A and B are shown apart, each in its own frame.
Chain A
Amino acid sequence: VPGPKADTSETMLNLNLKTGPVADRECYTSDAIFCKETELIFERSWLFVAHQSELKTVGDFVTTDLAGQPVLAICGDDGQIRVFLNTCLHRGAIVETERTGCRKRFQCLYHHWEYDAQGQLVFVPREDGFGPDFKRATHGLVPLPKLEIFNGLVFASLSGDVPPFLDYLGDAVPFLEEFSTYDGRPLDVVGSFEFTYQGNWKLLYENTFDDYHNEYLHARAYQNVPGLQYGKSFLKSRKENAPQANAPQPSAGGKRARNETHAPTKAGMHSVLHWDDAADKMVFQKERTHRINIGIFPSFLGVFNPVLDFTSFRILKPENPSLTRVLNYCLAPADLPANEKKVVASRFGGAFGPGGPIMMDDIRALALVQKGLKAKAGNVLHSRGLHQRPGSVGSDSDDHAIRSLWETWRHCMASEQVAHDAH
C-alpha cells in the first residue's frame, strides 16, 4: 500500500522557502512531509552508525537502523569496519538480531544462510537446489555505498550521492574534532540505550540548541541539583560566554547549511554552571570546562557536559511525525580505569535519560508541543535574537542554531522541486 504522498509544489515548501525564521506547523505533524523527509533528508545524508570502540575486535558488530532500514556494522577479519544492510539476500529476514556482540559467522535463522565478517555469503544449506548458475559471491550482504570514520565516529550513507564527509561537515570539522575526543584522548562507549518521546524529530534537535528554555522549564530541576543553580555561571565568569564573531563555528549541516548560521558551541549552550561546585564534581578532569552542543544534520546531536563530565550522543530515529526514538550514548576516555568508567555510566542515565530530571522535563515539554502543534494557530517562531544578531553567531539563547537547522532542512526538502523546475 503506498504511503501518503507529499505534494511539494503546493503551499508547504513554497511557504517555508519564502518566509524566513518561521516554520509551518505541518512541518512537524504531516505524514506527507515526514515521508518526504525520509526520502530527501535521511536517505541522502550522512548518518551516525556506531562508535569505533564498539567494533574493536574481529567479529564485533553493532546493529541499528538508518532511515528505517536495518543495518549491521562489523569489524572484519582485516580489522576494517564495514556497514551492510541487515537483511538476508535469500528471503529478506534480518540476519543479526542482537544490538551488539561478536561473531565469526552471521547466520540467518530462517534457512541458515551464513555470512562472514566481510559480509560474504559463505554457506547455503543444500545449495545445489538453487541451480548451477547460483553464485554465493553475488549474494553477500549489501554494503552501504558510503562510510567514513571520524575520530571514532562511524558515519554512513544509504546514498552514494552525498558530498564527501569533510565537505558535508564544513566548518563543523574543528568542533567535531574537539568533541569526539577528550582533550585528544580517544573515547570509549560506556553504554547506550534507547528511549522514545511523543514528538517530531526536529523538536529534540531544536531543544538541544535552545538555551532560552533552560531557566524556565528546568528551573525546578536545577534548583535541586548543587552546582546547577542559575546566576552562578562559571562560564560567564571566565568570559567564555560571549559569541566569538571571528572564530570558526560549526554548522548544523556543513556545506548544506551554506555557512550561514551556526551553533554557539564555544560560547557554551548553558550558562548555568557554577564553576566551584563543578570543580568539586569533576571526577577525572579539571581543564575541559566549557559545554559543547553540536549537531550534525539531521540526526546526530552531541553534548559534552563539564559538570557531569561525560560525552553523549543523541541519535534521532524518527518513527513517524509524532514519535521519535532516541539512541542515547554515553562515552568516557578510553584510558580511564574501569571503575571510573562505571562512575561515568552511573551518572549518565540519572541526568540524560528518561530517568533524569532535566531530560524528563524536555520529553514532557516536547510531547506537549507536539500536541499543541495540531492546532492551526500560525507559524512556529525561530526568530529569537535575529533583530540584534542576524548573522551566523549569536548569544546562548538566540535561535541562530535552530535557524541553521531549518535552513538545511529547506535546502534538502527543496532539492526535488529545484530539480523538477530545472527540467
Chain B
Amino acid sequence: MTLIDSSAPLQTKVEKFFADYVRLLDDKRYEQWLGLFLEDSFYGVIRYEDHQKDTDFFIVADSKDKLRVRVKLGTDTESRMQVHIVTGARVDDATDGIANASCNFAVFCENAVLYSGQYKVALSTMDDATLKIKHCLAVIANQQPNDLFYLPI
C-alpha cells in the first residue's frame, strides 16, 4: 500500500491519507497505523456535544505512547472485524506546513454501526512531502458511547 504520493495535490493527498488511515485500522496493521502519527502527536475521541462546547472532556485522550499501549492491549482483547467508511475528505485550511483536514466516518462491526462522526486532523508535511498526524480528533455523533475503545477508531 502506498501511503502518500508526494507529487499529488494536497486535497488528493488528504483523501488518500484518510483512506489509508482507516484501511490500516481495518487490516489491523497497527504498527503502520501508528507510523502515521508524529511522536508528539495527540489522539482523542470526544462526543459531538462536548466538542461543540469547546470542552476537553475526552473519552479517549492519548499521547502516542498511550496509543501504543492501547493498541498493544487492544489487539489481544478485541478480535472482531471492524469496517471503517470515510467520505467527504477535505482540506479545511493549510498554513505553515500544517494542513487541517476533516472527513466523515462510520465504524461498522457485526453489521451494526458502532460509531459515526467526523475525523478532524492536523497534518504536518514532512521533508519527503508525506503527511503525518500532529493532532487527531474523532468527534463521535453518539450521545452515549455504545462500545469500548480497546482499539482506536
Contact = CB atoms under 8 A, between A and B. Distances in A.
Interface of A: 99, 190-191, 193-196, 220-221, 224-225, 325, 330, 342-343, 345-350, 353-355, 357, 360, 363-364
Contacts of A191: 50, 55, 57
A355 B57 contact: no
Contacts of A225: 69
Contacts of B58: 345-346, 348-350, 355
A330 B59 CA distance: 12
Contacts of B148: 354-355, 360, 363-364
B146 A221 contact: no
A193 B50 contact: yes
Contacts of B94: none
B56 A355 contact: no
B57 A354 contact: no
- From B62, B66, B148, name the one whose CB has the most chain A CB atoms within 10 angstroms: B148
Contacts of A196: 144, 146
B73 A346 contact: no
- From B44, B45, B149, name the one whose CB has the most chain A CB atoms within 10 angstroms: B149
Interface in B128-147: 143-147
Contact of A347 (B49, B59, B61): B61
Chain B, interface residues (CB within 8 Å), range: 20 to 34
A357 B69 contact: yes
B47 A193 contact: yes
| 10 closest residue pairs by CB, A with B | A191-B57, A355-B60, A355-B149, A355-B59, A346-B56, A224-B69, A342-B56, A349-B59, A350-B61, A360-B148
Contacts of B145: 193, 195, 353-355
B144 A350 contact: no
Contacts of B60: 349-350, 355
A385 to B, nearest CB: 30
Given A193-B144, A346-B61, 20 more contacts: A193-B47, A194-B143, A195-B144, A195-B145, A224-B73, A342-B55, A342-B56, A345-B55, A346-B44, A349-B59, A350-B58, A350-B59, A350-B60, A350-B61, A354-B59, A355-B58, A355-B60, A355-B145, A360-B148, A364-B148
A301 to B, nearest CB: 18
A224 B72 contact: yes
A355 B50 contact: no
Nearest to B60: A355
B70 interface: yes
A191 B146 CA distance: 18
B47 A350 contact: no
A325 to B, nearest CB: 7
23 contacts: A190-B57, A191-B55, A193-B50, A193-B144, A194-B143, A195-B144, A221-B73, A342-B56, A345-B55, A345-B56, A348-B58, A349-B45, A349-B46, A349-B58, A349-B59, A350-B66, A354-B147, A354-B148, A354-B149, A355-B60, A357-B69, A360-B148, A364-B148
Nearest to A327: B144
Contacts of B62: 350
Nearest to B149: A355
Nearest to B44: A346
A99 to B, nearest CB: 8
Contacts of B108: none
Nearest to B69: A224
B77 interface: yes
